């Protein structure tokens, strides 16, 4: 319970830090970050293919970026389950969305573990694993907080989901998808709007 409370506090701090007077969104769980954080940039290993992946490989689809770990007892599986429900609400438009699950626990989350875990939720879910330096750089870039301690083994992490448009531009952060009764319909509307308004400029 203490870990869960800490994770919620970290997530709230993240959302408040990024809150802005951006465009109106359908869901109160979505906070605009347009123009406040950098474009999507990363370099990691795709657990599904075993190949290196970069932001250039992700262009053309709405991308959801999330930091978690496969041994997470509640926050991560609840979040990914709810994302899967959102994708179902999107219908055929879900094919234009991809969810990146970046492990903050690479010591235990090898590629095989990540591949098996993300496959439980569907083909839109991609597990990513990086070196300690790659992970630290990505976390700093998007102001994500996480920690791993070994005695006892404890992992904490921010639970917000960063949403980027098909050109890799940041749009909003989804908060609270691990909680009870999240606004799945409103969040689906906000993501669907990005799919429908793909602007190559």
Q: Longest C-alpha distance within the chain, in Å?
A: 50
E strand intervals along the chain = 30-32, 43-46, 52-54, 62-68, 97-103, 125-129, 146-150, 153-157, 161-164, 170-174
What phi-psi label fits residue 154: left (phi over 0), alpha (psi between -120 and 50 degrees) or beta? Answer: beta
Is the pLDDT reported for residue 184 higher than 60? yes
Query: Could you state, in order of their start, the residue ranges of all structural domains in the chain?
Result: 2-196
The confidence score (pLDDT) of residue 24 equals: 84
- Using a 10 angstrom Cβ sphere, with 0-12 exposed, 13-18 middle and 19 or more buried, the burial of residue 55 is middle
Is the pLDDT reported for residue 20 higher than 50? no
Are 98 and 87 contacting, i.e. CB atoms less than 8 angstroms apart?
no
In this structure, the strands spanning 97-103 and 125-129 are parallel
Put simply, whether the predicted model's pTM sits higher than 0.75 gets the answer yes
Are 173 and 15 contacting, i.e. CB atoms less than 8 angstroms apart?
yes
In this structure, the strands spanning 62-68 and 52-54 are unpaired
Is the pLDDT reported for residue 3 higher than 60? no
The stretch 82-96 carries a mean pLDDT of 97
Cα–Cα distance between 34 and 24 in angstroms, integer?
A: 12
**What homologous superfamily is domain 2-196 in, according to CATH?**
Glutaredoxin (3.40.30.10)
The confidence score (pLDDT) of residue 11 equals: 54
Is the pLDDT reported for residue 201 higher than 50? no
The confidence score (pLDDT) of residue 131 equals: 96
């Amino acid at each position: 319970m203490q870990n869960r409370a800490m994770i919620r506090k970290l997530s709230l701090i993240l959302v408040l830090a990024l809150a802005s007077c951006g465009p109106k969104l359908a869901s109160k769980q979505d906070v605009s970050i347009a123009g406040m954080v950098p474009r999507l940039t990363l370099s990691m290993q795709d657990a599904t293919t075993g190949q290196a992946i970069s932001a250039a490989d992700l262009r053309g689809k709405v991308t959801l970026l999330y930091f978690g770990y496969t041994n997470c007892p509640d926050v991560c599986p609840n979040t990914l389950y709810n994302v899967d429900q959102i994708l179902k609400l999107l219908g055929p438009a879900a094919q234009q969305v991809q969810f990146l699950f970046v492990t903050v626990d690479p010591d235990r989350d090898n590629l095989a573990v990540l591949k098996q875990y993300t496959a439980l939720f569907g083909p839109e879910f991609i597990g990513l694993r990086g070196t300690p330096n790659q992970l630290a750089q990505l976390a700093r870039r998007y102001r994500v907080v996480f920690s791993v301690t070994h005695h006892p083994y404890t992992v904490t992490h921010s639970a917000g989901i960063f949403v980027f448009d098909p050109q890799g531009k940041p749009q909003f952060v989804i908060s609270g998808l691990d909680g009870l009764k999240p606004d799945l319909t409103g969040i689906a509307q906000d993501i669907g709007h990005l799919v429908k308004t793909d602007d190559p400029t």
